[in-house]
Structure 1
Amino acid sequence: MSSAVTIVRFHKTGSADVLQFDQIPLPEPGQGEVRIRVKALGLNRAEIMFRNGQYLETPVSPSKNGYEASGIIEAVGPDVDSKWIGKAVSTVPGTFKLNEHGVYGEVAVVPFHGIAEYPSTLSYEEGASIWMQYLTAYGALVWLGKIAKGDFIVITAASSSVGVAAIEIAKAEGAISIAVTRTATKKAKLLELGADHVIVTDEEDLVVRVNEITSGKGARIVFDPIGGKILESLAAATAPKGTIFEYGALAPEPTPYPLFTALAKYLTIRAYTLFEVTPDPIFPKAKQYIFDHLASGAFKPIIDKRFRFAEIVEAHRYMESNAQIGKIVVTL
């Protein structure tokens, strides 16, 4: 085994070009940690924001990056059962800090509590495309939103991996998904992936279409990672006593609070992230729910495009283009 490995770090914030390949000594797992020989990486929007210095965690130079990896455990810390060596696992976002345990590299050292097994029928690429999307959607829709059969669910940025996962979860729970996308280029694919309705905001009025679809009732749940001005339209499209989950901040402009609409409808506009799920007692139940639905085939990670490890800068650029439907994966 080589005494040195390559990882990806950035020494200053900025565009994708700040990502660089650094050689470091092979790291040994410490107390409560495991080392994974990485086979695939699943990219997430949070990693773009972190690289830009616009995330919940502030980068400390030189900073690691990356939440999701799949691979084989090749070493364990002194207090971790050695029986885990040789097992295929993936890493779970929300269980570690990017600065400390980012997974972009030939190997990744992460906390033992930050790994999970996945169905053996999945490939390494699919194994790296699970937890961010499904846990994020599960937490809002199933755990907090308690969606039920017949509920109307508006899902913005629906072509993202989390958006696609939300469509699958809505279908599994018998809810009616209303996927929202900017351009018509993604409409057919979203319908193919199971969306019950698709609204193209470049061509259609979001509020008018939601009212048509729901016969004027509005959506009980809105699942939105964008924020910004669209929140006003989303509030107008939400049913009385409905809930809007804001789980991101992709909009370039500030997010206005739709006070009068919220007052008139008794709306709940709730900030939410995956980090609420992982430390909660619901976490094991959430993981089991996702595992079971993956094993049954009800959930199927959608991989949009694969890049080689040497192309990780190009992979970041591609994510920033917003062209993808589903997950962007880097293979090693």
Structure 2
Amino acid sequence: MPRVVVFDEFGGPDVMHVVEEPVVEPAAGEVRVRIEAFAVNPLDQMMRSGTSPATVPLPHARLGVEGTGVVDALGPEVIGLEIGDPVILTAIPDASVRGSYAEYTTIPASRVVARPAGLAITEAAAIWVAYSTAYGALVEKARMRPGDHVLITAASGSVGRAAIQIANQIGAVPIAITRHTAKKDDLLAAGATAVIATDHEDVVEAVRHHTGGTGADIVLDVVMGPGQQDLLKAARPGGTLVAAGFLDPRPTSFPRSAPLTIFSYRSFEHTLDAVVVRRMAAFLNAGVRLGALRPAIDKVFALDDVVEAHGHLEKGLHAGRKIVVTV
């Protein structure tokens, strides 16, 4: 029988184990996907450890919010898809029940898109969460345009790297922020026009320098916390800040009034919108075809080594690149 990763209690990576389960037939409007690979995300770690903001019912909980595979079966009323189609999972509404850490999963047909030609399976498994988040925040929410100076926090992370590439594809100017000077060369090689290392530079002064004194048109803040005050000062009057993450658990003091637009963004507000997902998929396909969009992969594990993959994530050994598990 097919294998699936489950956990019966919250804790460290070793609470996960692989079991065998019968294949589930897709219901009306669903497809069954034979998973070829999935990526390990911080949300998976939060679900497994019991720190996720959403309730995770135990025992026998599953994991996995992104992955890629091949359509294996079609439920009634499914149109536009065929058995054998390679697809990417765009949203799994109930990952604790049908997550992608498995050889097979069923999912609404509206929650898959065609896999872009030219992507390796490991890349396809790791592209959607980061790129849809960065695209949704920058393009759909902030309306990024060519020539915009875009300040990107946590730029070494998967969303930050995706944001750099997406800004370049649009014709904007990505300015990366990192905490460590040692990461500058890597981020410049990843496509950043300029890199600000906060261990040696003042963010506001550096942004003014790199924007000719005007400030950033758009700020993508996936960190939050007290450091956001410097980001607000670094934005130009009339600019936009999109708060799209919470890497810093300390309180964030949003100003009651500021000379810029502030959005709070969560990717599910777009990944559950079929119209926006269609735009995301078209943008992704174009970027892959042009060679502008390509996820950075750190290490690939086998399904039997999923505990080791989570340990690798928790130790921070991935340096912001994606960890992928092949099935």
User: Do Structure 1 and Structure 2 share a fold, with TM-score over 0.5?
Assistant: yes
Contact persistence 1:225–1:249 (CA under 8 A)? yes
Distance 1:282 1:82 in 2: 18
Structure 2 residue corresponding to 1:116, chosen from 97, 113, 116 = 113
Structure 2 unaligned spans of 5+: none
Q: Which amino acid aligns with 2:309?
A: A
Superposition pairs of residues 32-47 of structure 1, within 5 angstroms: 32-47=29-44
Rounded Cα–Cα distance in structure 2 between residues aligned with 1:43 and 1:294: 21
| CA 229–18 in structure 1, closer or farther in 2 if over 3 Å, else same | farther
Equivalent residue number for residue 58 of structure 1: 55
The CA distance in 2 between the partners of 1:319 and 1:213, in whole Å, is 33
Equivalences for residues 156-175 of structure 1 within 5 A: 156-175=153-172
2:322 aligned to 311, 320, 327, which one?
327
Contact 2:118 2:288 (8 Å CA) reproduced: no
1:318 paired residue number: 312
The Cα shift of 1:233 comes to 1.8
- How far is 1:82 from its partner? 9.5
- Name the amino acid aligned to 2:78: V
Residue of structure 2 equivalent to 1:309: 303
- How far residue 45 of structure 1 moved from its aligned partner, in angstroms, is 2.1
CA contact (8 A) 1:119 1:291 kept: yes
Secondary structure of the equivalent of 1:84?
coil
Partner of 2:11 in structure 1? Answer: 14
Task: Give CA-to-partner distance per residue, 1:137-176, whole Å, 9 cap, x none.
Answer: 1111112211122211111111222111110111111111
DSSP 3-state at the match of 2:220: strand
Q: For the structure 1 residues 202 and 16, does the alpha-carbon distance in structure 2 shift closer, same or farther, using more than 3 Å as the test?
A: farther
Relative to structure 1, is the Cα distance of residues 49 and 254 closer, same or farther in structure 2, using a 3 angstrom cutoff? farther
Task: Give the 4+ runs in structure 1 shifted more than 4 A.
Answer: none
Of 114-123 and 82-91, more deviation after overlay is shown by: 82-91
Asked if the contact 1:38/1:108 (under 8 Å) is kept, the reply is yes
Q: Paired residue for 2:276? A: 282
CA displacement, residues 167-210 of structure 1 (integer Å, 9 cap, x when unaligned): 01111111111111122332211111111111122222222211
**Whole-Å Cα distance in 1 between the matches of residues 80 and 171 of structure 2?**
42
Q: Which amino acid aligns with 2:269?
A: E
Q: Distance in 1 between matches of 2:315 and 2:177?
A: 18
Q: Which residue of 2 aligns with 1:223?
A: 220
TM-score, scaled to structure 2:
0.92
- Give the 3 Å change call, closer, same or farther, for CA 225–10 of structure 1 in structure 2: farther
CA distance in 2, matches of 1:181, 1:311: 31
State the secondary structure of the residue aligned to 1:282.
helix
Give the aligned partner of residue 192 of structure 1. Answer: 189
Q: Residues 321 and 235 (structure 1 numbering): CA distance in 2 closer, same or farther, change over 3 Å? A: farther
Change (3 A) 1:13 1:229: farther
Amino acid at match of 1:162: V
Paired AA for residue 130 in structure 1: I
Letter in 1 for 2:123: E
After alignment, is 286-295 or 164-173 more displaced?
286-295
The residue type paired with residue 310 of structure 1 is D
Aligned residue identity for 1:66: G
The residue type equivalent to 1:326 in the other structure is R
Q: Partners of 1:174 and 1:111 in 2: how far apart?
A: 35
Alpha-carbon distance, 1:81 to partner? 4.8
Matched residue, 2:75: 77
CA contact (8 A) 1:76 1:82 kept: no
User: Which stretch of structure 1 is more off in the superposition, 107-116 or 319-328?
Assistant: 319-328
Counterpart AA for 2:135: Y
Q: For 2:223 and 2:81, locate their aligned partners in 1 and report how far apart those are by CA, in whole Å.
A: 43
Q: Deviations for 1:48-91, whole angstroms, at most 9, x for unmatched residues?
A: 22223333422111321111111122222233359611111111
Query: Which position in structure 1 is the counterpart of 2:89?
Result: 91
CA 19–330 in structure 1, closer or farther in 2 if over 3 Å, else same: same
- Residue 266 (structure 1) aligns with: 259
- Structure 2 CA distance for aligned equivalents of residues 119 and 151 of structure 1: 28
Whole-angstrom distance in 1 between the partners of 2:35 and 2:44: 18
Instruction: State the superposition RMSD in angstroms.
Output: 1.9
User: Are 2:135 and 1:142 equivalent residues in the alignment?
Assistant: no
* Distance in 1 separating the partners of 2:224 and 2:198: 15
Deviation at residue 18 of structure 1 after TM alignment: 2.3
Given that 1:96 and 1:111 are in contact with CA atoms closer than 8 Å, whether structure 2 keeps it comes out as no
**SS of equivalent residue, structure 1 residue 256:** coil
**Identical aligned pairs, as a percentage?**
39
- Residue type matched to 1:115 in 2? V
Determine the C-alpha separation between the residues in 1 that align with 2:300 and 2:179.
24
Does the CA contact (< 8 Å) of 2:116 and 2:284 recur in 1? no
Query: What amino acid is the match of 1:304?
Result: D
Q: Which ranges in structure 1 are unaligned for 5 or more consecutive residues? A: none
126-135 or 73-82: which moved more? 73-82
Deviations 1:82-105 (A, max 9, x none): 961111111113x52212321101
Q: TM-score, normalised by structure 1?
A: 0.91
